[in-house]
Chains A and B, each alone.
Chain A
């Protein structure tokens, strides 16, 4: 899974779970201020990313530092490099 595929799958989560138009999904978008995600949505964002990438991130401290969509892409990429998670 390369960076392009990771971005595609993360974007799918925002479209499917939060009904955000694909055109707005760019790296610099701040997830709270720009995309309108709130504290409850964060819980569901974590669940959706776990499901999409078959990973466990709920208790990963790095989740708390995420601010932008680009942070999510990079976080998932880092996880991939660390763990070589499933291509499924």
Chain B
């Protein structure tokens, strides 16, 4: 089995179009959550908050590349370009059959779907639809557009498992490089903010509805006053690479993927499963060959739903007790859904490099149901050798990735 390392990172988040702006937001305890203008026009939508990212920089791509991109694909392509540039991937490697991309999202562009239906439905008229609707709306829109934008010619795959999409992309990339199928893979995910997306969660009573007038106070992961998730948007892409390949070309290495697991809970579509989450963390740690006591930081999924946070806290407590610091990032940038695993892993790797754990924003009063684990509520300086990243999705899908500092163990 080959070793798999991370040699590049690209992020578009509600804090800006790079990893530096994301880390700056975390360091300064900023909230990117806003009351969304115009959302009050939607009947039945009581969650009027979101964490928007600025759409800019798409003109870096020529029209024929840009024309097929909805909002989420622009984010994905920009993050992929950043990651490839940070990794110093030369043109020959970028266009070789040994480099591929795996990108996930919950679905295609919500904005493009909405636009298509608005054009078509009033008169049930298909004749005014653009040829680009298909390319913006399909589930593999991020993977396809990243491949087109960068000229990728190797393995291409779209993972689609809602909030676990990008962590599944990273996990699949890890497995493909580990087994020698590819040398380099650009892996991650993207998502866009739209009233339709927030509305889907609202229907399931999973959104935050009590902080429309003081949006910066929500979401509140693990907090007693948490009342649901807040959608965000953006993209995260990491360059995964065969360790020997990375060394031969002198690439900088930001961490090593040590273990991975994805599994179904097999119990309920939307109710979180403590057992499923615990099994997934157990499997990933076992895959890494490490022991739970060697883990230094857990980057929780922690969306701030009543039940999800409780199940995750219980699963963490079952394995780690209160020994391992835990924090989540959704208080800062909302839930970037299909992008969240990759964005939050990129930030966790940077925390590993800086030796600091940023706290869970808006966690003021730990809810009794989420107690018994080591919540980080103020910045914590600590050497981090091993990080566990959790992503859990509706549909009963659990995903956990274990990363370590190069040569830590």
Identify the A interface with B (CB < 8 A).
Answer: 18-19, 36, 38, 40-44, 47, 50-51, 56, 58
**Cβ contacts under 8 Å, B248 to chain A:** none
* Chain B residues numbered 124-147 whose CB sits less than 8 Å from any CB in chain A: 127-132
Q: Select A19's contact among B63, B129, B131, B132, beta carbons within 8 Å.
A: B63
- Is B64 positioned at the interface, with any CB of A under 8 Å from its CB? yes
Known A-B contacts A19-B63, A38-B64; A44 and B131 likewise in contact (beta carbons under 8 Å): yes
How many chain B residues sit at the interface, stated as a range, is under 10
**Cβ contacts under 8 Å, B131 to chain A:** 40-44
Contact with A along B47-88 (1 / 0, CB 8 A): 000000000000000011001000000000000000000000
Identify the B interface with A (CB < 8 A).
Answer: 63-64, 67, 127-132
Q: Are A51 and B64 neighbours in the complex by a CB distance under 8 Å?
A: no
Q: Are A18 and B132 neighbours in the complex by a CB distance under 8 Å?
A: no
From DSSP, what is the main secondary structure of chain B's interface residues? loop
Q: Select B130's contact among A36, A38, A44, A56, beta carbons within 8 Å.
A: A44
**Cβ contacts under 8 Å, B128 to chain A:** 47, 50-51
> Which residue on A lies nearest to B63, using beta carbons?
A19
**Cβ contacts under 8 Å, B132 to chain A:** 40, 44
**Cβ contacts under 8 Å, A50 to chain B:** 127-128
Instruction: Provide a sorted-by-A list of 10 A–B residue pairs whose CB atoms are within 8 angstroms.
Output: A19-B63, A40-B67, A40-B132, A41-B131, A42-B131, A43-B131, A44-B130, A44-B131, A47-B129, A47-B130
**Cβ contacts under 8 Å, B130 to chain A:** 43-44, 47
Question: How far is B359's CA from A16's CA once the two chains are assembled, in angstroms?
Answer: 47
> Which residue on B lies nearest to A38, using beta carbons?
B64
Q: Are B63 and A18 neighbours in the complex by a CB distance under 8 Å?
A: yes
Question: How far is B175's CA from A43's CA once the two chains are assembled, in angstroms?
Answer: 40
Question: How far is B130's CA from A42's CA once the two chains are assembled, in angstroms?
Answer: 10
Question: How far is B131's CA from A18's CA once the two chains are assembled, in angstroms?
Answer: 13
> Which residue on A lies nearest to B66, using beta carbons?
A19
**Cβ contacts under 8 Å, A44 to chain B:** 130-132
**Cβ contacts under 8 Å, B64 to chain A:** 36, 38
